[in-house]
Structures are given as C-alpha cells and as structure tokens.
Structure 1
Amino acid sequence: MNQSKVVIIGGGLAGLTAAIHLRKLNIAVTLVEKNTYPKHKVCGEYISNEVVPYFQWLNIAVEDLRPTDISKLQFSTVSGKTINTVLPLGGFGVSRYALDNFLYQKALADGCHVIHESVENIHFDNGKFTIITSSGTTIQTDLVIGAFGKRSNIDIQLNRNFIQQKSPWLAVKAHYEGSFPNDIVGLHNFKGGYCGVSKVEDNRINICYLASYKTFKEHKNSDGYQKEALEQNPHLKNIFKNTKLLFEKPLTISQISFEPKLPVENHILMIGDTAGLIHPLCGNGMAMAIHSAKIAAEVIDDYIHQRIKTRAQLEKNYTQHWNQTFKSRLKTGRLLANILLKPKLSHIVFRIVMIAPFLLPMIIKKTHGQPITISA
C-alpha cells in the first residue's frame, strides 16, 4: 500500500500546477493520471496574463514554449458584424499538447510521484482516504485534490448533482495552418454556438468551438456542421477557406456541463473544471484552472502546518476563497452565453456595445481576475 500526504487525481493544467506548487512547499505529492504525455485536448488554448506572476513564482518558464502574444479581441455576430477591442490584461496562446507536457516534466523534476492509471474507487473513513486504481494499487492519504476534468466516472461515483443532468453542449477542436494574426483572439458567433480562433506556438492556429447538441445532430458530421452552421458567419467561412487541417480529424467531447458544482465534495478539494467550468467564450478557463490550483495548495499548506486546525475549517476556507474568486465570473459567463445564443437579444446587446464600445472591456473584466500574486 502506497502512502502520500496529498494525492491529486488528474494531471491536466490544474492538477499539474497544484503538484508543482505543493512540491515547492516541500509537501509530498502523488499524482494519478490515466493518460501519458504529450496529448492534445479540446481547449481554447488562450491564457490570460493574470497567471504570469504566479508562473514566475513557481519557476515555470512558459516563455520557453514560444507562446504567441495576444493583445486584441475580435468579436463577430452570426451575420458577420464585428467589434474589435484591446484585451485589458492581454494573454498568450500555447497548446495543451506543449504546456501540459512541460508542466508534467517540471512536476517530475520537482519530485512529484506520478502514477499513470485510472482511479476506480475513492473511500473516506476516519480522516483518511483510500484510493484504488485500475491495476489494484491502493493508496492511502490524508488529503485529495480532484482535478479530473469536466466529466469523469469519479463524478458518477460521488453522485455529484451536475452529472445527473444531461448536458446539451459539445465541443470540437483542431489545429490548422494558414494565415491568421498572431496578436488576435477571435470569438465568432454562429447559430447554435460560438467559435474561438487564435494562434499557439509553432505558428499553428487553434480553432475550437462550442455547439449545442440540438443543432449539431441535424448534420451528419462535424464537416457538415462546419459548412452549414459555422460558415454562415462570413468571418469563419473566410478562416476555414484559408486554412488547412493539421489533425487527422478534429477532436470532439460531449456532455459538457456549465451547471454549478461544489468546490468540496466527499472531503475532496475540487480544482479546475472539476470545481466549475466557465463558458469558453469568456476565454478565462485556463487561467481559472491555474488560479484554483494556487488556492488549494495554499489552504493545504496552512492545514499541514496547523495554521488551519481542522478538516472542517480547511474545507470551509477553501470553499469561501473559491467562491470569492470565481463564483461571480461563472455567473457572468452563463449570462453571456444565454445572450449570445438568443439572436434578437444578442443583436440588441451588440448595438449597445457599438454605440458605447468602452462597455466591451468592462464585460471582459467581469470574467477575468487581477494578476495572481503570492502573499509574503
């Protein structure tokens, strides 16, 4: 039986960042991740610059990946009308294929123990977790961080509320080669969803869209949906016309839920998409995942060093901090998505923003945070 002070289930952006943070604090960490690296993931692959000070503190030299510097947003309606604005903080584009592997290598170098297996069962009793993996490995630990993504079999085992509801959303992502500005992230509305377009490293263009299953199922496949739904927006039509698919085929994930989730369930501290998923149109999901890892690592450090005395207080502190940081952003994201997917309402809001363009940066700020700093 393996023993570890902290076990992180899931080795995506949030899980790996939490592992690196905890190891910086000299806390023993085991990370359980079913996949190996590198691996492509369905993701917008744009990160707000709010993470930069935190990455610097963690000694994560993301600049080594040669990410693109993104400073502008272009938004278009279904009909192709556009608004352009400067992003308040700006950000950078980097693929999950490169970034997750980069963080994984750093976590290993920092002394994190990684097990490449899936988790079959988690049981909590008498202040201890017992985790059983697919190969029968048993791990005992005091603390568990849940970083297992948008939707997992573990959610079913924990009987989480959102998992009981069928979600009407799916997402499609691929990389392309072609012509697209380095400094722009495009957000293009179409009937049934919206599509993000931006550059990542190596001059690749990431195109990732969220679509309602109701509209998607009317078409035979993603190619048909692209031509008959996305390309009704002239900007998207022009982008697809002038790019070439680099993947064998686009990646697709379904049953994406934006329903509220609890930050702590069954005494597990949830981070990243496992704790709450913001609509991709807000462009802040990756930064939020990274920030949530910081919050979890800090409260765990306080608990281990007796600055937080009880598990109940640990869970309360984490929940409060998580809600203060993210709850309003998630509500704003759901509101914006509802507006964009109602053509008449979207048109009214677009007209208002055209008359008062200063409103758009204000809306962006509502879904983003301040630069993430470390308290002395």
Structure 2
Amino acid sequence: MNQIPQTFDVIIIGGGLAGLSSAIHLSKYGFKVLLIEKNSYPKHKVCGEYISNEVLPYLEFLGIDVFQLGAQKINKFELSTPKNKLLKSDLSLGGFGISRYTLDNALYEKVRSCHVKTVKDSVMDVQFLNDGFSVATKNNNTFKSKIVIGAYGKRSALDVSLQRKFIKEKSPFLAVKTHVKGDFPNDLVALHNFKGGYCGVSKVENDTINLCYITDFEAFKAYKDIDAFQEQVVFKNTYLKSIFKNAAPVFEKPLTISQISFSNKRPIENHIIMCGDTAGMIHPLCGNGMSMAIRSAQMASQLIIEYLQGKIPSRYTLEKAYQKSWNNAFGTRLKVGHVVAKLFSKNQLAEVLLTVLNRFPALLPKIIKQTHGKPMVIK
C-alpha cells in the first residue's frame, strides 16, 4: 500500500556539504525541510579536504566551529611539476584542513538538532507540475514540496533521468584518496604534479595527512593496481614519493571514484536548484571545491528564503537570481580551473609555466586569489 505523500517547503536531495548546510540554514527560518540522503554518517569521501577561509563566517552562522573539531589552519602553499621543480607561496586569505568524515558528521548532527526531517533513501525521479514538485524514492516514498535543491554530488542516476548534457559526455578521470600518519607541516597545502595527474596534500584533524590525487583513467588502466601505478608514475615526483614512503596508512585501502566530470553544468535543471558539485566542479588542481559547495548552499538558501517569504515574486525571478549569483561567484573560478588544469596536463608546458611563475612571483598569489574568494557576507 502506498504511503500518503508528505508535503514540505523544501526537499534537499543529497546530504553532503551543500545539502546539510542548506538544511540548517532554511530550518533557522522556520521552514519545513526534508533531507534525503542514501548513505549513513559518518563516512569518508574522496575529497581534497582543504577549504578556503571565505566560508568561516557562514559556518559560524550555521553553528559549526571547525577548529573545535580539530581543523588545521593553513596559510602556505607549494606547487611542484612532474620534473620536481618547486614553487612556494603564502596564502593571503588562507584556509583550513578538515576531513569530510568529521565535517559532514558535525553538520548532520546540527541538522538533527534543528528538527529537519531526514530520510535514508535514494531519489529515483523528480517531477515538476502545477508549480510544485513530486519526489519519488527507491523505497516507494513520495514527497511533495514547493522547492527542490539538488545536492547529490558529482553524478547520479537522477542526472540521467533529467537528461543533463554532461552525463552523456566522456568522463575520463579517476580520483584516489587515503589518510596517512607522517611528517608534514600543519600549515601547508601542497599540489604535486605527476605525469597525467596531480595530488593534493594537507593535514586534517588528529594529526592526519590527507592525500588525494586525480589522474586519467585510461592511463591508470595500463597498470596492475593502485600500488603499481603509484610506484611507476606518482612516485616519479620525489616530493610525493617521500611523503608516501615515510608515512603509515590509516585506511585499510585507498578510496576511489571514477567517471569524474569537469564539464560545464547548469545550476538550474527542470526548476531544481543545483548546489555544490551537482551544479559544477572545479579542477582539484585549483582546490576549493568544498568551499564552493558551502558558498552555493548559502546563496541558494538565502534566495529560497526570500522567495518563500514573498520577497521574490516568482519562480522565474528566483531561478534567474540564482543563476546570476552562481555565475558571479564561480564563473571565473571554473574558467581559471579549466585553464590551469589544461596547462599542467602538458608536462613540458607545466615546467615552462613554473619557470614563469618563479620569475614573476606576484603572479601565483593572483591566481590563487581567483579561487579563494572573499569572506562571505551573511545576511
């Protein structure tokens, strides 16, 4: 027997950084919110785990103190090429390192304390009809709402049903993440390039080092397994070899994710407001995907609040406003990410680029600034 549909002001599909942040934000204004997430908490995710300080004011507004959770303050940056040329810079705005395991769980506990309705389930279909949404799940639940936020991550079966353009395109990237214990500065985030990819290194809570690299999947398949690929490709970068070889693994085995797409996405699909990776992914070489997810949640939530309060007169105006806010906040970041990643994918060009940056040291902070944003203003 089918369950009686339940009605909400907002349904959020996906309980990552964007979805959880939106749920807390909207609940503060008394709206009836449903969060649908298929996984349990806490859970590790493949992620660089470095976040720009731009989001600290918003996290404080949500009631999250990342430094009480053990986050590491980061204000230095290193970049190396496959031929082991190294460039260093200060981070003017700075950031912090914290695992998704810890941050997601802290946000989830906050969601629970805000009396947001949460359901462990997978969304199979979303229909928009008569200026409202009907959301159907794998467990035969049906929910209705005025607004739907899509915050379900990099790719999903829902993208197929929505016929999103990027889902039909080739997604050739594979990402690998592990946590280790070893010697690495608390205040440093490093990006070390190797042939066909690059690896981010930074400290998170509990004196743990996060190592997360991305590579071309076709190139990776030429090797027997992750260990063989690392030995024969990744460790050609001596900085990475030193870190990996002198560290003890925390995870039993690395986490992996494939079919990663950096193709352009649309922040509105079938009237669903997309946030975080669901709306667009920046190349990890430029970092800050976690910050983008949190910032997009703030932008979407504020506009949705104004719409539900009648301050924004129509859904059309709401969607246009979010599209504009997204482009203003992230359009340049995504373009810079594509350009920088393309440059560093060409090994010889990467060496030339690093030589130029060494000769003109003021250029690197300017590039970093394009992806770090400014401290968020909370309305």
CA apart distance, 1:197: 0.6
CA contact under 8 A between 2:83 and 2:351: conserved in structure 1? no
Q: How does 1:127-146 map to 2 (within 5 A)?
A: 127-146=131-150
Aligned partner of 1:176: which letter?
V
Residue 256 of structure 2 corresponds to residue 252 of structure 1? yes
- 1:354 and 1:63 mapped to 2: Cα distance? 33
Moved more, 41-50 or 62-71: 62-71
Look up the SS of the partner of 2:43 in the other structure.
coil
Give the counterpart of 1:169 among 173, 185, 202.
Answer: 173
Cα distance per residue 1:54-86 (max 9 Å; x no partner): 111222222221111111001111111101110
Give the counterpart of 1:123 among 110, 119, 127.
Answer: 127
- 1:335 and 1:24 mapped to 2: Cα distance? 39
Structure 2: gaps of 5 or more residues: none
The residue aligned with 1:302 is 306
Normalised to the residue count of structure 2, the TM-score between the two structures is 0.98
The residue aligned with 2:284 is 280
Moved more, 103-112 or 213-222: 213-222
Residue 84 of structure 2 corresponds to residue 64 of structure 1? no
Look up the SS of the partner of 2:19 in the other structure.
helix
CA apart distance, 1:121: 1.3
Aligned partner of 1:120: which letter?
M
Which stretches of structure 1, 4 residues or more, deviate above 4 A after TM superposition? none
The residue aligned with 1:354 is 358
Look up the SS of the partner of 2:45 in the other structure.
coil
CA apart distance, 1:125: 0.8
CA contact under 8 A between 2:286 and 2:368: conserved in structure 1? yes
The residue aligned with 2:274 is 270
Look up the SS of the partner of 2:372 in the other structure.
coil
Residue 192 of structure 2 corresponds to residue 188 of structure 1? yes
What is the identity percentage for the equivalent residue pairs of Structure 1 and Structure 2?
52
- 2:347 and 2:175 mapped to 1: Cα distance? 20
CA apart distance, 1:260: 0.4
Residue 334 of structure 2 corresponds to residue 330 of structure 1? yes
Residue 89 of structure 2 corresponds to residue 91 of structure 1? no
Cα distance per residue 1:285-312 (max 9 Å; x no partner): 1111000000100110110111111111
- 2:29 and 2:266 mapped to 1: Cα distance? 26
- 1:317 and 1:119 mapped to 2: Cα distance? 26
CA apart distance, 1:214: 2.1
- 1:50 and 1:25 mapped to 2: Cα distance? 23
CA apart distance, 1:259: 0.4
Give the counterpart of 2:14 among 10, 14, 21.
Answer: 10
The residue aligned with 1:209 is 213
Cα distance per residue 1:72-106 (max 9 Å; x no partner): 00111111110111012111110000110000000
Q: How does 1:5-84 map to 2 (within 5 A)?
A: 5-84=9-88
CA apart distance, 1:359: 0.8
Cα distance per residue 1:6-56 (max 9 Å; x no partner): 000000011001111111122111000000100000000011111111111
CA contact under 8 A between 2:174 and 2:259: conserved in structure 1? yes
Look up the SS of the partner of 1:64 in the other structure.
coil
- 2:73 and 2:121 mapped to 1: Cα distance? 36
- 2:84 and 2:371 mapped to 1: Cα distance? 24
How many residues align? The count is: 375
Moved more, 223-232 or 19-28: 19-28
Residue 228 of structure 2 corresponds to residue 224 of structure 1? yes
The residue aligned with 1:105 is 109
- 1:62 and 1:192 mapped to 2: Cα distance? 34
Cα distance per residue 1:203-224 (max 9 Å; x no partner): 1110000101121111111111
Aligned partner of 2:161: which letter?
Q
Structure 1: gaps of 5 or more residues: none
Aligned partner of 2:363: which letter?
L
Moved more, 16-25 or 54-63: 54-63
CA apart distance, 1:154: 0.5
